[in-house]
A and B are shown apart, each in its own frame.
Chain A
């Protein structure tokens, strides 16, 4: 890597982000899917259950379902070959930071790692050495006071700020607007990673916003608690990030989404700090200001501390699974679960494509008995129950509670599933389904090594439109891919990941082999845009929990209406008239350099 400019830094901390995470892919440096010597797909490292394991069936799936030729590779550029432009010069702010004894650096690698999220664009750009506009200096506040000082410094020295938590954004929220002329400060919250207190009486906990999900949960677990919030990104995302993106956790049925879990937020804005005088379970004091902060995506300020509910660790946590003859029955089952309000902590439905992929990702069986068992159960389902392999679907769930509660819950759900021709698939398969979630994120990097572009995106939708939306969006992705000249079969798959009283959250996975296309990324963009249009036309939303960022801005107006957008703009101009928090997420602001108006 080369950056031909003078590096200026001060008291640079040793950060996990710079040490054990990949610079151009998902997750830990040591963990990835590879093709081993036998020509099979295996997973490296030691951090996951599947680490060191082989998935003998997966290569076949990869080749058949995506049309991959493993001999054809599209390797990523080496970090040493990457060229980084000099930062925008602003010596005043560096002087200021030094004066205040705030840690900072403008070293190329440090800037590079904080200049992107995890969209397919971000990854492809890094792999191809196309480096976007990067933040010009990274700062690490150690206290809330330092955050305030940084914001003040940015205002008096004409800088912009983009806060960064875990960096797992999939909405281009972390990208610096290309038109930004000012020096951009990346406000890295990594050092604000402590639990301040745990209140056993009220079951709340106050933490600094930079604490990473898995550390937060581990520390709470050690004291007998759980935070109950478990997004798929929990290994890397932070409490502050959850708040500012309106995150949703896998077990929201039992514990609630982030907006239900938050009791108090401290929020630093250019106009000062927003916080409430009390920490109460509910308050009627006009519109809830928390709702302005939740989902503000770094456009108004930065979350510094959060008080959240905590819960005693459940006595029992058990996985479960069901197999349904088709997606329709699965959705009907989910709808009935919601109607009866008997949701387990988590409940997910995979479509046939994902079911097939999941089967292919199973690790090599260590005993003949193991493989025999699955053959027998397969026979039972296909021959005895008459399920068709091309239509079969699976649901997985997590029960949490006392042993009695869990047993009772499991019984009810099993009985209900049978009404929809569901077959109970056992705990092992359920657990496997959830493990897969963490693995899937790594899978894209393997695909990218062989010319595959892929992404996941999500939406929320009322019950009566779940099936039509899933079907139409998948069909659109297939047809549009064909129209755009994709020559190989595409992966268009979905799952229902959350169950609400009035609807569900649906997750789409889309991937295709871009080999032979002149501009695969452009093709990808067109299809994703068309897919989102279709989602909205079918009654779905702009996003359930990934947020808007810059990627989905074009649907904000239809989503919220002109008056709604004007209100958001008014809030922005009141809290941040100079547009210091210049990530340009959510909406375009008139008069700002990145405004299209």
Chain B
């Protein structure tokens, strides 16, 4: 059975912090002699290019030269002045990589890491393979993105294993951070504007800058396919622009091959967890500033558990795309005016989703993730519950057993009891108020976190209580990819009034629901049939359903079915609330303007003790996703800028499907 989740064991995984000790501590580590493979382009000897040479190759490229000439012509100014502009852009974006700085900065980072984490686990054998591959082809790291620490850790690991430190595509917001911006720049980060839509010059300079690194294989490259840090603990819907830019040299034939390495980065505790919770509630995102980071010093004095870096199998782009992307269809275009057609774009997009899928498959699911699922379920029954450790333990144990049936592996560090106590008492103790603390079976209760003021007519008290719920959800979300498809299929079977339902009917529904939920549970477009088949096989092999001779599906293990389906319902209930909102009287200007109104509705429902309403539903991210789904399906139509209109026919169909689905899962066969 295909497994999701990883068990972190030696020798597959090694603890970086142990290695650091073996090397004699951070200072010895950052000063040791390094042997990075020098960037090499096939057909020429390895050559290290200077920063000036890199810069020159961008400004002298035919694409940039063309655009400069065109711009000068369009704006009726001199070529020289546009070129100056291009130079300024380049200065703004370019990294200033310097090994000495890396060592200095590395010392600080390593010392902090040592303090912050109990363990940094890496599946190191893959790294040796990656190092070998990087000698021939440009290696591109595509990590999952949950925290700022992602890129610090990845660079550190590259340093450790003598892999060229990545040139990291970072957002402009980092650049404005004093000191840190410069440090990042010197350790190889380059900065991109968040949006540069129509600016042809910026576009040309930026893509040429990225691509010169790809083509010359000066360094490895790193970018985040989710584009931004996921605040919700699970994968975000991928973005495609950067991937397309990086793949272009391959499509153009400028490189023989590229090697993509998906990296799953998982944390016992995400350092930004509380910031995220506030942000998701709708309190404005604090500007990335150094002082903000320094305030995080209180975080530094706390233990933050472990982090897990799982490097996926390196993917040869040449092998992956094989014949699906015919490079020969691009060759009638001159190199300097390269355009990727629609079919190719679709293939590239699909690949982005594929990478996210690998992030999920290789993600480490911890006992804490499971505990959060369980605790949220406890709170569903009584939102002010005080519960004891033993209850929690037994429910966590039970859920882990259930997940094992469908091939989901939950990582156990020592043993379940030790892990659970470690997470609750040491790593995440700031969420709880403990009672009878000295007893083995102590009692737990969630604490409230202060908020500055009420918001959107939602009372401050509710807001304060919801912070911990959002944090819990962030962690519980981290396991949802392992059961989403299974639970949807089982829910569909449960809902039906008949015992046996034909596979094709379920497939149609499965596709429909997955499509609505695609921003919550990332899937690979056009491969939903495959996903369905795979999931059916898992459910069959695990003895949860059977497939009759005439290709009908029937549940045989109801107990497991209930447990699994219960995990997915909150996501559907959340969407349902958004869909059932009374849209008829709304003048919709944009999505964001609607969010507070829906939050208010959620608060009302909560106050009326409506079933299945969680405080975590205040989270803006799923609300946004639900509204986007409505737009995509046509229930809300975009008529112009800041002008949306509800299509009530389509909205009613959507509501009916969802109400049927959720009502039935609530009532049927239970």
Contact = CB atoms under 8 A, between A and B. Distances in A.
A474 B327 CA distance: 17
Contact of B253 (A328, A390, A472, A479): A472
B44 A468 contact: no
A468 B253 contact: yes
A537 B326 contact: yes
Contacts of A471: 41-43, 256
Nearest to B41: A471
Given A464-B334, A464-B335, A465-B335, A537 B253 contact: yes
B331 A539 contact: yes
Interface in B244-274: 252-254, 256
A470 interface: yes
Given A465-B331, A538-B331, A476 B43 contact: no
B253 A469 contact: yes
Given A465-B253, A468-B252, A537-B253, A474 B43 contact: yes
B334 A462 contact: yes
A471 B331 CA distance: 16
A388 B253 CA distance: 26
A391 B45 contact: yes
B39 to A, nearest CB: 15
B44 A328 contact: yes
Contacts of A475: 42-43, 256
Nearest to A559: B328
Main secondary structure of the interface of B (DSSP, over half): loop
B336 interface: yes
Nearest to B252: A468
Interface in B50-69: 62
Contacts of A469: 253
Given A464-B335, A537-B331, A539-B331, A476 B44 contact: no
B208 to A, nearest CB: 15
B134 to A, nearest CB: 16
A327 interface: yes
Nearest to B215: A468
Given A469-B253, A475-B256, A464 B336 contact: yes
A113 to B, nearest CB: 38
A537 B321 CA distance: 13
A177 B326 CA distance: 31
A558 interface: yes
Contacts of B62: 464
B328 A472 contact: no
Interface in A333-382: none
Contacts of A479: 256
A558 B328 contact: yes
Nearest to A539: B331
A538 B253 contact: yes
Contacts of A537: 253, 326-328, 331
A469 to B, nearest CB: 7
Contacts of A474: 43
Contacts of B327: 537-538
Contacts of A558: 328
A150 interface: no
A326 B41 CA distance: 13
Contacts of B328: 536-537, 558
Nearest to A538: B253
A390 B45 contact: yes
B599 to A, nearest CB: 53
Contacts of A326: 44
Interface in A449-497: 462, 464-465, 467-472, 474-476, 479
A529 to B, nearest CB: 13
Nearest to A464: B335
A326 B45 CA distance: 10
Nearest to A540: B331
A350 B331 CA distance: 25
Given A462-B334, A538-B331, A539-B253, A391 B44 contact: yes
Nearest to B43: A471
A468 B331 contact: no
Contacts of A390: 45
Contacts of A536: 328, 331
B255 to A, nearest CB: 8
Interface string A487-530: 00000000000000000000000000000000000000000000
Nearest to A327: B43
A468 B62 CA distance: 15
A498 B298 CA distance: 70
Contacts of B331: 465, 536-539
B373 to A, nearest CB: 46
A476 B256 contact: yes
Nearest to A537: B327
Interface string A535-546: 011110000000
A233 B331 CA distance: 31
Nearest to A535: B328
A555 to B, nearest CB: 10
Contacts of A391: 44-45
B43 A470 contact: yes
A274 to B, nearest CB: 33
Contacts of B326: 537
A464 B253 CA distance: 11
A324 to B, nearest CB: 12
Contacts of A467: 43
Nearest to B325: A537
Question: Which of B41, B43, B331 has most A Cβ within 10 Å?
Answer: B43
A472 B254 CA distance: 8
A328 B253 CA distance: 16
Interface in B334-377: 334-336
Interface in A56-93: none
A390 B328 CA distance: 31
B254 A468 contact: yes
B569 to A, nearest CB: 49
B326 to A, nearest CB: 7
A211 B331 CA distance: 40
A399 B327 CA distance: 39
A392 to B, nearest CB: 11
A359 B254 CA distance: 30
Contacts of B43: 327, 467, 470-471, 474-475
Interface string A389-403: 011000000000000
B46 to A, nearest CB: 11
Contact of B45 (A388, A476, A538): A388
Interface in A142-168: none
B69 to A, nearest CB: 17
Contacts of B252: 468
A462 B335 CA distance: 10
A538 B254 CA distance: 9
Contacts of B335: 464-465
Nearest to B254: A468
Contacts of A468: 252-254
Interface in A560-584: none
A469 B256 CA distance: 9
A479 B336 CA distance: 28
A471 B252 CA distance: 13
A467 B255 CA distance: 11
Interface of B: 41-45, 62, 252-254, 256, 326-328, 331, 334-336
27 contacts: A326-B44, A327-B43, A327-B44, A328-B44, A391-B44, A391-B45, A464-B336, A465-B253, A465-B335, A467-B43, A468-B252, A469-B253, A471-B42, A471-B256, A472-B42, A472-B253, A472-B256, A475-B43, A475-B256, A479-B256, A536-B331, A537-B253, A537-B327, A538-B327, A538-B331, A539-B253, A539-B331
Given A465-B331, A465-B335, A538-B327, 15 more contacts: A326-B44, A468-B252, A468-B253, A468-B254, A471-B41, A471-B43, A471-B256, A472-B42, A472-B253, A475-B42, A475-B256, A476-B256, A536-B328, A538-B253, A538-B331
The 10 lowest CB-CB distance pairs between A and B, nearest first, are A539-B331, A537-B327, A471-B43, A538-B253, A464-B335, A468-B253, A475-B256, A537-B328, A536-B328, A475-B42
